[in-house]
Amino acid sequence: MEEMLNGFLFAWLVTLSLATIAVAQDDQSGFISIDCGIPAGSNYTDRITGLSYTSDVGYVSGGVSNSISLIYQSNSPERLFLTVTSFPLGTKNCYTLTPAQGIFGKYLIRASFLYGDYDGTGQLPNFDLYIGENYWDTVTISNASIPIRKEIIYTPSTDYITVCLVKTDTTTPFISALELRPLNITIYPTLSKSLELYARLNFGTLTNQYIRYNYDAYDRIWMPFLWDTKAIINTTQDVLENTYRVPSAIMSTAVTPDPLTATNESVSFYWTANNITERYYIYMHFAEVVEVPVTQIREFNIYINDNLFYGPMSPNYLSTTTVYTVSPGYGVERYDIVINKTAISTLPPLLNAVEIYREI
Ligand SMILES: *[C@@H]1O[C@H](CO)[C@@H](O)[C@H](O)[C@H]1NC(C)=O
Ligand SMILES: *[C@@H]1O[C@H](CO)[C@@H](O)[C@H](O)[C@H]1NC(C)=O
Ligand SMILES: *[C@@H]1O[C@H](CO)[C@@H](O)[C@H](O)[C@H]1NC(C)=O
Ligand SMILES: *[C@@H]1O[C@H](CO)[C@@H](O)[C@H](O)[C@H]1NC(C)=O
Ligand SMILES: *[C@@H]1O[C@H](CO)[C@@H](O)[C@H](O)[C@H]1NC(C)=O
Ligand SMILES: *[C@@H]1O[C@H](CO)[C@@H](O)[C@H](O)[C@H]1NC(C)=O
């Protein structure tokens, strides 16, 4: 399939690891962690993540606190899903976040929802989410026990940020948690003000668990991606972070074509757009995890829809390189990423992690 990609090509940048290991600043300074629906003025530290959550009192008005119903509590969801704040009154209810860095910052904002039949009606809610004056996404609950997370990377134009729940039918908007994390302003450069998360995948996972804070200093949630036809290679050593700060727990594993089952020697994947007007950005994180003998070389090219995007590259041993788009891809239904070894390469390509975002 030959498709023309507008704007996506020839616009790449590479971020290599810093030469020295930055002093880990994995504290929660600048984090806003709100567990909606817990008693006014209360707070707690999550046992698993170590994150400190506070109630939403003072961030929003007009909400009603509720607990999810007992049968859903018995599924032992994460603690922040046990309570919700719902908004039976008014069409639009907004949380106001005032991050310390104000308009000089770039933020990851995540809103989480687990319905859990908190109102005992069993009626699955459907409503819209806005950031500032702009439509962000629609929250459609299709299963009361499945959590939904919406996440954006946002550069505000005011020193406060509003996240609003907007009623669109007879059902009542609600929210389980709202989290804000300051990012380094230099990462995820974009032509727009906000990027909505489409996928953030950890390739080559050994544990099949998701990873977030405090492995990830920015508290991104990395989902494990199981890939039957790929082999996993890994290291027990630390992989140096670059400014994207993808944690070593993610970068120390990678996928590579399985020498036993591989019909070709490429790593490839694709995604499809719901609408060809959607504009996508991709971030690919690479690090060599095996000590390549001097007689060998691992070198590859990265193609997007059959066009050379970046390469040839040889990932650095135990050090992260991020290859990413600086302008979005759009105008096609399907995005095919193919990572092929070059003619001189004696080893197949590898890939440690990928993030895909959509402009909104
Ligand atoms: C958490 O609650 C305790 C006890 O009510 C209070 O002293 C403390 O200031 C609270 N911490 C935060 C961050 O709100
Ligand atoms: C909701 O999700 C749970 C857990 O994945 C599943 O067991 C259940 O069958 C689902 N319910 C419906 C109505 O689809
Ligand atoms: C953000 O990244 C830049 C570029 O790598 C770096 O120089 C700067 O120190 C970083 N800022 C913070 C606050 O970490
Ligand atoms: C890969 O991970 C496994 C399981 O943690 C470990 O036993 C093995 O030593 C690792 N491989 C390398 C090359 O470090
Ligand atoms: C795609 O998006 C455009 C612009 O938002 C809209 O006009 C069009 O109806 C959408 N097409 C489909 C198939 O949803
Ligand atoms: C990548 O390699 C595979 C097999 O090695 C080949 O079929 C495919 O055409 C190559 N793709 C590109 C874009 O070169």
- 310 CB contacts (<8 Å, ≥6 apart)? 12, 14, 301, 302, 323
Distance of alpha carbon 116 from alpha carbon 146, whole angstroms = 8
Distances (CA, A) of 175 to 51, 119, 126: 18, 13, 12
Q: Ligand 2 pocket, 145 CB below 6 A? A: yes
Q: From the CA of 234, how far away is ligand 4's center (Å)?
A: 6
| 139: containing domain | 27-183
Q: What is the pLDDT of residues 310-345, one digit of tens each?
A: 999 999 999 999 999 988 888 999 999 999 999 999
Q: Is the predicted pLDDT of residue 259 greater than 90, yes or no?
A: no
Q: Indicate whether 219 and 316 sit together in one domain.
A: yes
Is 16 a domain residue? no
The band of 15, judged by pLDDT with boundaries at 50, 70 and 90, is low
Boundary of a domain, candidates 138, 153, 183: 183
Boundary of a domain, candidates 183, 203, 231: 183
Residue whose CA lies nearest to ligand 5 atom number 9: 275
Q: Ligand 6 pocket, 253 CB below 6 A? A: no
Residue 23: other Cβ atoms inside 10 A: 6
Place of tokens 């996404």: 137
Q: Ligand 4 pocket, 206 CB below 6 A? A: yes
Q: What is the pLDDT of residues 47-99, one digit of tens each?
A: 888 999 999 999 999 999 999 999 999 988 899 999 999 999 999 999 999 99
SS3 label, residue 113:
strand
Is 20 a domain residue? no
Query: Which residues form the pocket of ligand 5, taking CB atoms under 6 Å from any ligand atom?
Result: 275, 277
Q: Ligand 1 pocket, 54 CB below 6 A? A: yes
Residue whose CA lies nearest to ligand 5 atom number 14: 275
Boundary of a domain, candidates 158, 183, 208: 183
For the CA atoms of 7, 282, 152, 287, the dihedral, rounded to the nearest 10 degrees, stands at: -150
Q: From the CA of 347, how far away is ligand 6's center (Å)?
A: 15
Is 354 a domain residue? yes
Q: Indicate whether 213 and 152 sit together in one domain.
A: no
What pLDDT sits at residue 193?
80
Q: Indicate whether 164 and 88 sit together in one domain.
A: yes
What pLDDT sits at residue 206?
85
Share of the chain above pLDDT 90, in %: 79
